[in-house]
A and B are shown apart, each in its own frame.
Chain A
Amino acid sequence: MVHIVPEIIKESVTNLVKNGERTDGRAFDEYREISLETGIIEKAEGSARVKIGKTQIVIGTKPQIGTPFGDTPNVGVLMTNTELLPMAAPNFESGPPDENSVELSRVTDRCIREGKVVDLEKLCIVEGEKVWMVFLDLHVIDYDGNLMDAAVLGSVAALMNTKIPTTKIENDEIVLDYENMMPLPINEKALMCTFAKIDGELIIDPSLEEEEIMGARLSIGMTEDGNICAMQKGGAQPLDREKILKVVSIAKMKTAELRTHLP
Chain B
Amino acid sequence: MIIIITNTNLNTGTETSARADKRAFDELRNLKIEAGVLERADGSAYLEMGGNKVLAAVYGPRELFVRRLMQPNRAVLRCKYNMAPFSVDDRKRPGPDRRSVEISKITSDALSPAVFLEKFPRSTIDVYIEVLEAEGGTRCAGITAASVALADAGIPMRDMVVACAAGKSDGNVVLDLSEVEDKEGEADLPIAMMPRTGEITLLQMDGDLTEEEFQQALDLAIGGCKKINEEQKKAIKNRYGE
Contact = CB atoms under 8 A, between A and B. Distances in A.
A77 to B, nearest CB: 13
A137 B85 contact: yes
B94 A43 contact: no
Interface residues of B, number: 40
Interface residues of A, number: 43
B86 A176 contact: no
Interface in A149-189: 172-179
Interface majority SS (helix, strand, loop, mixed), chain B: loop
A41 B53 contact: yes
Interface in B79-137: 80, 82, 84-91, 94-95, 126, 128, 130, 132-135
B12 interface: no
B39 interface: yes
A60 interface: yes
A176 B4 contact: yes
A141 interface: yes
B103 to A, nearest CB: 14
A252 interface: no
Most B CB within 10 A of own CB, among A41, A85, A141, A142 = A141
B51 A81 contact: no
Contacts of B91: 62, 64, 135, 137
A118 B41 CA distance: 35
B55 interface: yes
A143 interface: yes
A47 B59 CA distance: 27
A29 interface: no
A238 to B, nearest CB: 31
A89 B57 CA distance: 10
A9 interface: no
Interface of B: 1-9, 38-41, 44, 51, 53, 55, 57, 59, 62, 65, 80, 82, 84-91, 94-95, 126, 128, 130, 132-135
17 contacts: A41-B86, A43-B134, A56-B38, A62-B90, A64-B91, A65-B3, A85-B128, A85-B130, A86-B59, A129-B1, A135-B91, A141-B38, A141-B130, A142-B39, A143-B40, A174-B1, A176-B6
Given A130-B1, A137-B85, 19 more contacts: A41-B84, A41-B87, A43-B133, A43-B134, A54-B40, A56-B39, A58-B84, A61-B86, A64-B90, A64-B91, A87-B57, A87-B59, A126-B1, A141-B38, A142-B39, A142-B41, A174-B2, A177-B6, A178-B9
